[in-house]
């Protein structure tokens, strides 16, 4: 019977080893943070870099969180007056195979609408991201209200081309 139990042990070991290997080869979320515009803000946003370590194109298609009544995938677009406006991106954000997609201030972001509590510095927001192929990934997103925009987008965009 010892041969059979060795086989069973090997099968059990393989079953336990698989999830860990699959995790390593999926989507990685780097440097997530969340912020809102103040203690009375009813909404906030989360930013992060999504890295695709698989050989298949993937796509972030939805997000959810206990911290907000509704979570949407948003981007900023410049309107005809040169003002940046937010809009929902129904098709989500593509992450190419072996590539990455950055969610950053002034661009794509995860919108937290109807905050259940104000976002306070150092809080952790638990965010569940749903990917087309990788499925659901839950990330702990620290609230960082002091972080400055990465690329100074505000200086290049968002100035109405009127007056002066
Ligand atoms: Cu938004």
Closest CA to 143 of 126, 128, 127, 121: 121
Using the 8-state DSSP alphabet, how is residue 143 labeled?
B
Q: 73: CA distance to ligand 1 center in Å?
A: 7
How high is the pLDDT of residue 13?
59
Question: The domain 29-146 is classified under which CATH number: 3.90.1150.10, 2.60.40.1890, 1.10.10.10, 3.10.310.10?
Answer: 2.60.40.1890
pLDDT band at 14 (very low <50, low <70, confident <90, very high): low
How high is the pLDDT of residue 38?
85
Q: 37: CA distance to ligand 1 center in Å?
A: 12
Q: 74: CA distance to ligand 1 center in Å?
A: 5
Q: 72: CA distance to ligand 1 center in Å?
A: 7
58-106 pLDDT, tens digit per residue, is 999 999 999 999 999 999 998 899 998 999 999 999 999 999 999 999 9
109-160 pLDDT, tens digit per residue, is 999 999 999 999 999 999 999 999 999 999 999 999 999 887 544 444 444 4
Cβ-contact 103, 110 below 8 angstroms? yes
CB neighbour list of residue 130: distance below 8 Å, 6 or more residues apart = 60, 61, 62, 63, 64, 136
Q: Does the pTM exceed 0.85? A: no
Q: 135: CA distance to ligand 1 center in Å?
A: 23
Q: 69: CA distance to ligand 1 center in Å?
A: 14
pLDDT band at 5 (very low <50, low <70, confident <90, very high): low
Helix (H) or strand (E) holding 73: strand 68-78
Ordered by start, the domain boundaries in the chain are 29-146
Q: 100: CA distance to ligand 1 center in Å?
A: 20
Using the 8-state DSSP alphabet, how is residue 158 labeled?
-
How high is the pLDDT of residue 159?
42
Q: 3: CA distance to ligand 1 center in Å?
A: 60
How high is the pLDDT of residue 149?
82
How high is the pLDDT of residue 69?
97
27-44 pLDDT, tens digit per residue, is 999 999 999 988 899 999
pLDDT band at 7 (very low <50, low <70, confident <90, very high): low
Q: 111: CA distance to ligand 1 center in Å?
A: 5
pLDDT above 80: residue 108: yes
Q: 22: CA distance to ligand 1 center in Å?
A: 32
Q: 71: CA distance to ligand 1 center in Å?
A: 9
């Amino acid at each position: 019977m010892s041969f059979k139990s060795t086989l069973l042990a090997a099968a059990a070991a393989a079953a336990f080893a698989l999830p860990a290997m699959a995790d390593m080869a999926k989507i990685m979320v780097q440097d997530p943070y969340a912020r809102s515009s103040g203690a009375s803000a009813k909404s906030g946003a989360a930013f992060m870099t999504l890295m695709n370590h698989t050989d298949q194109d993937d796509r972030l298609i939805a997000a959810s969180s206990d911290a907000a009544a509704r979570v949407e995938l948003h981007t900023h677009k410049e309107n005809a007056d040169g003002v940046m406006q937010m809009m929902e991106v129904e098709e989500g954000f593509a992450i190419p195979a072996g590539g990455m997609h950055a969610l950053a201030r002034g661009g794509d972001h995860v919108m937290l609408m109807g905050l259940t509590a104000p976002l306070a510095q150092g809080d952790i927001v638990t965010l569940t991201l749903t990917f087309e192929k990788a499925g659901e990934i839950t990330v702990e997103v620290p609230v960082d209200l002091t972080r400055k925009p990465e690329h100074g987008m505000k200086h290049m965009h968002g100035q109405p081309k009127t007056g002066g």
